[in-house]
Structure 1
Amino acid sequence: MKAFVSSSYGPPSALELKHIDKPEPRDDEVLVRVRATSVQPYDWHLMRGEPYVARLMPGGLGLRKPGIPILGADLAGEVEAVGKAVTEFQPGDEVYAMSKRDGFGEYACVRESELAPKPRNLSFEEAAAVPMAANTALLAVRDDGRLKPGQKVLVNGASGGVGTFAVQLAKAFGGEVTGVCSHRNVDLVRSLGADEVVDYTKEDFTRQGRRYDLVIDNASSHGASAYRRVLKPGGVHVLVGGPGGRWLQPAGTMFAALAASLFLPHKVTRTDVVACKENKRNLITLTELIEAGEIHPVIDRQYAFEEIPAAVRYQEEGRSSGKVVVTVAKTT
């Protein structure tokens, strides 16, 4: 099979297209013929080995070379074969998963406990845009943010992969939603159901005198004192992401905010979708919402499999509206 392999840390050009052996599923695994994948910050952080401090922590980053040779955290495709202990899936089933790895290859082995049936009303490309971004948004809004119907929620970074899902999920759960984005994405965010949209190139949402029960923060664009002006006492500030950096960021910004929360009248918490053990169950919840028409993926650009380095390069620029997806293999 063909796969883009990350043998050393570096830019997108370091991803090498190679012919490697097709993987064999273990007893509890499913072999998936990958039809589509998506690209996100998780992938290029692993590709570059940044922030450097993460190389010292347990997880996907190795100290001197990538701990995950084939990137691609999301995938959608068809079941090719199943391990002998697998009972839920059979060859030919259409599935999707937040696999955390191997989406940049033609085949991937995924544990049955991480795999879910693909939403019937989505293409493979649309389904591949869902897992990590939508799972992150669901955790941020429902679990970490504990949004209740009627509460006011602000989504900072509302036009990105996580943000577009967060706006829709907050509306689906009964929130009154304000989205923050650049001028070119105002209409997009409004079309997703936001009750109000703030163009950050013209206004500072922390100085408008409005207060919210919940802030979903995909941008980490302000300091702790600014968020104190925005949140109601007892409100929740959920940290999701922020600008990257070589040494500490975005981890440094998040840890600083968590430390500052000891002196603030609101709660600060961090969403960690990679550590979540309920991603399959959450995918099933997302499928129900997608098939009911409550939420849908927003796709900015679509690339062919051979263009994965270009797709990563574009996503790394940080200007995509919604998701960047890749067709790995066309359906016949």
Structure 2
Amino acid sequence: MRAIVQDEYGPPHVLSLGEVPIPAPGAGDVLVRVRAAGVDYGVWHVMTGLPLIGRLGFGLRRPRSRVPGMDVAGVVESVGAGVTAFRPGDEVYGAATGAYAQFALARPGKLARKPANLSFAEAAAVPVSGVTALKAVGKVAAGEKVLVIGAGGGVGSFATQLAAAGGAHVTAVCSTAKDGLVRSLGAQAVIDYTREPLTGTYDLIIDIAGRRPPALLRGLLSERGRLVLVGGEGGGRWFGGLGRLPAARLGGLFARRRVETPISLTRTADLDALRDLIEAGAVRPAVGRTYPLAEAATAVGDLVARNAPGKLVITID
């Protein structure tokens, strides 16, 4: 089958189109014929091997998995022994191993029925970013003030919609080029970080961009507000954006303002919840651009350069 392969760490050019065997589903596996796959920073981390601490999981000298990609939408091709939740022909979306290929393996607990009102490309934009946003937003009350930093990206576009759907007043932080997108997703105010500083007081701050000191963000919280730190691509080579998380948690131990650093794993229950919201019209994926499989390296490069708003998606014939 055709797949994107990677045999070393490095910039996008280490990703190339090649031929690999179709994976065989073992007991408890689902083989998905991939129709589309999402592009997220997890792919960039595995591609570059950064931060270096991540290589404990990715592989010390080279990636353990030759084929990158996690977000997936497609059709069940076959199932392994013991799988009863899905059968061949089912349209699914979720998280898989090696999604940048014509076929990929997934566990049933990481898949769900694809939203009926989405194309495969749209559905592939949802799993990782949508679940991350779902955990970050949590429960918001009508009238609460929410600040979403990085609102024009994959996670941010979902967080903006989820907070707005909960009745919150959402202020989006993004670049000038993404102003129209975030307003269309429900943001009632926009701070253009290229032109103005962060101001205001908020009940919830979701920082997806990951480059601002937590102490600065805590200063923008209401008395019992909460700060949610999602990932982070800044910092040094060893720990990257993860370096600010321990200090942020310690700083929140002795304050009423809570600091949260959620770990989001793609699970069927969360995918079901997102599908219900999508089919009800409360949330929609914001697909900024699609790429053929052969242009996966370009897609990852555009993600890092922030050349397109919303979520980037790779489509597979």
* Separation (CA, whole Å) in 1 of partners of 2:105 and 2:95: 12
Contact persistence 2:16–2:294 (CA under 8 A): no
Residue 116 in 1 paired to residue 109 in 2?
Answer: no
Residue 314 in 1 paired to residue 302 in 2?
Answer: yes
Offset of 1:263 from its aligned partner?
Answer: 4.7
TM-score normalised by the chain length of structure 1: 0.91
Contact persistence 1:29–1:110 (CA under 8 A): yes
Alignment partner, residue 201 of structure 2:
211
Alignment partner, residue 260 of structure 2:
269
Residues 160-210 of structure 1: CA deviation (Å, up to 9, x unaligned): 1000000000011221211111112112111111121111222212xx3x2
Which one of 84, 89, 93 corresponds to residue 92 of structure 1? 89
Which one of 227, 239, 245 corresponds to residue 248 of structure 1? 239
Contact persistence 2:121–2:314 (CA under 8 A): yes
State the one-letter code of the partner of 2:262. Answer: T
Residue 81 in 1 paired to residue 78 in 2?
Answer: yes
1:198 is paired with a residue whose SS is strand
Between 131-140 and 18-27, report the one with greater CA deviation: 18-27
Alignment partner, residue 149 of structure 1:
142
Contact persistence 2:4–2:16 (CA under 8 A): yes
| Count of residue correspondences | 316
Residues 221-252 of structure 1: CA deviation (Å, up to 9, x unaligned): 42233223210122110001333353321111
State the one-letter code of the partner of 1:21. Answer: P
Identical counterparts, % of pairs: 46
Residues 243 and 110 of structure 1: is their aligned pair in 2 closer, same or farther, counting only changes over 3 Å?
closer
Q: How does 1:283-302 map to 2 (within 5 A)?
A: 283-302=271-290
* Separation (CA, whole Å) in 2 of partners of 1:264 and 1:221: 22
* Separation (CA, whole Å) in 2 of partners of 1:158 and 1:267: 21
Alignment partner, residue 178 of structure 1:
171
Between 88-97 and 125-134, report the one with greater CA deviation: 88-97
Root-mean-square deviation over aligned CA pairs: 1.6
Contact persistence 1:8–1:14 (CA under 8 A): yes
Alignment partner, residue 323 of structure 1:
311
Which one of 166, 176, 180 corresponds to residue 187 of structure 1? 180
* Separation (CA, whole Å) in 2 of partners of 1:246 and 1:62: 16
TM-score normalised by the chain length of structure 2: 0.95
* Separation (CA, whole Å) in 1 of partners of 2:307 and 2:217: 24
State the one-letter code of the partner of 2:87. Answer: Q
Residue ranges of structure 2 left out of the alignment (5+ in a row): none
Contact persistence 1:228–1:265 (CA under 8 A): no
Which one of 95, 103, 108 corresponds to residue 107 of structure 1? 103
Alignment partner, residue 61 of structure 2:
64
* Separation (CA, whole Å) in 2 of partners of 1:137 and 1:69: 28
Alignment partner, residue 35 of structure 2:
35
State the one-letter code of the partner of 2:154. Answer: G
Offset of 1:14 from its aligned partner?
Answer: 1.0
Offset of 1:264 from its aligned partner?
Answer: 4.1
Alignment partner, residue 12 of structure 1:
12
Residue ranges of structure 1 left out of the alignment (5+ in a row): none
Which one of 204, 219, 242 corresponds to residue 229 of structure 1? 219
Residues 268-315 of structure 1: CA deviation (Å, up to 9, x unaligned): 111211xx3x62110000000001110101111110111111111111
